[in-house]
Amino acid sequence: MTSTTDIKSLKFPSDFYWGYATASAQVEGSIDVHGKGLSIWDTFSVDPSHSEDGGSTKVATDFFNKYQEDIDLMKSYGVNAHRMSLSWSRIIPQGGKGDPINKEGVQFYRKVLKALLDAGITPFVTLFHWDLPQALQDKYLGFLSKEIIADFENYARICFESFGDLVKHWFTINEPNIYSLLGHCFGKHAPGRSSDRKISPEGDSHTEPFIVGHNLLLAHATSVKLYRDEFAEQGGKIGLVINMNWGEPIDTSPENVFLAKQFMACTAGWFAEPITTGDYPQLMKDLKGHRLPSFTEEEKSLLKGSTDFLAINHYTTYMIKKRTTAADPADMWASFLPDIQPGFQDADGKDIGPLAGLSWVRPVPWGFGKLMQWAYDSYKVDIYISENGVVCPNENELPREQAINDDFRIGYLESYADQIALKIAEGIPIKSYLMWAWTVCAAEIRHVDSARLMA
């Protein structure tokens, strides 16, 4: 076992990517000017109950107008990478194949990408970070329809043609598991569909997430094939971003060990397995039965190996045990994994990590280390940590001077960076640490320790 002192002495490779991550809907603003069409988040966030602070996408952090200030600040912190997403409806306002391209939107992103490169910052670009054009949601319910695959391929083609000379790291889709569940099961994210009629007037939480996930996978694989077939000369890499939290069995009983495997199969494996092996995990097939669509043999071939790396968004660890109490009918998590009761206490009732500013996050660095080991052992591809971060307890209520003395977040990021360094030393090819999000982690990267980069 490597000691804490030994971990602190480990170095990161000189070509390791450090930086921040953002999403277009959360930072850009300017949603109804310069030719942009509305996205589902532009319409969904009008209701103040749909966001953490009651805000909407209308202004956000005004990146559209202040991107150069942000990039200058990033440069001053010494980062060498920035993950951003493109707004589909800023580039194709109506979203579809044959619909007009918004030249102002294309020009905006070229300016941003050039500004990043001029600052010595490598762009990592996500094609779809949940802000589907509202026009496609209205037309055929978005990713509930296979029609989306051709429209996504067309959108990807325009992006590769327009920005491929500036972008060498492409992420097709951000967290398809979260988009499927929170948008089409829990109803907490756009487009807000759920079986719970207190939340949504329409939706089927038991079937829709799996239909949406299926079409997201096929859209991803189709765009990867397009990139490899027609844009390989651009010299880039392309892959999928998956939210992966670690599930640790609460004890060594066969039942809870099995449920932890089921948890990983139905959350991380739901999307990681098809893009590497061509099909869903068997444990997920066994659990979901006919609700999980089947791939044709042609689709399996399209999916298998449709990623150059595994991009991981990670935030927390859960202790996994068998559910022992009846679930609330409105508990959509229970409808997704009916036998599992995830929690933050170990078998002795002790918390596995301190309270953070979000109820579903506990800092558990050892769980992050286990996750990276599991991901590499399972899929044997390079790993990019494309999101990781934490919200500090009660930070919205703290005086500004106290809030910016951000020891809680600094400690979280240091401990998680230590785990990356350890896994690199053990031979796992981890290529980046991109922190979520630029708007909240701006100062902390100075403490997540550029001195440990190899010369």
Tokens of 377: 């052992």
Backbone angles phi, psi at 385, to 5 degrees: -85, 105
Q: Which of 28, 208, 387, 444 is catalytic?
A: 387
Q: Please name the residue that has the structure tokens 């952090």.
A: 61
Measured in residues, the chain has a length of: 455
DSSP class of residue 48 equals G
C-alpha span between 96 and 391 (Å, rounded)? 37
Query: What burial class does residue 54 get, using C-beta atoms within 10 Å of its C-beta: 0-12 exposed, 13-18 middle, 19+ buried?
Result: exposed
Query: What burial class does residue 47 get, using C-beta atoms within 10 Å of its C-beta: 0-12 exposed, 13-18 middle, 19+ buried?
Result: exposed
Helix (H, G, I), strand (E, B) or coil at 296: coil
Phi-psi region of 246 (alpha: psi -120 to 50; beta: other; left: phi over 0): beta
Tokens of 112: 């941003």
C-alpha span between 175 and 178 (Å, rounded)? 5
Judge whether 387 counts as a catalytic residue: yes
- What count of Cα atoms within 13 Å lies in the side-chain half-sphere of residue 369? 18
Are the C-beta atoms of 288 and 210 separated by less than 8 Å? yes
Judge whether 230 counts as a catalytic residue: no
C-alpha span between 384 and 17 (Å, rounded)? 9
- How many Cβ atoms are within 10 Å of 76's Cβ, its own excluded? 11
Q: Which residue from 319, 320, 317, 413 is spatially nearest to 367, judged by alpha carbons?
A: 317
Q: Please give the full DSSP string across 224-236, using - where no structure is assigned.
A: HHHHHHHSGGG--
C-alpha span between 205 and 423 (Å, rounded)? 38
Q: Please give the full DSSP string across 5-21, using - where no structure is assigned.
A: HHHHH--B-TT-EEEEE
Query: What burial class does residue 395 get, using C-beta atoms within 10 Å of its C-beta: 0-12 exposed, 13-18 middle, 19+ buried?
Result: middle
Q: Which of 175, 248, 273, 299 is catalytic?
A: 175
Q: Which residue from 24, 64, 42, 5 is spatially nearest to 437, judged by alpha carbons?
A: 24
CA distances from 291 to 201, 203, 216, 284, 317 (A): 21, 15, 16, 10, 27
The catalytic residues are: 175, 387
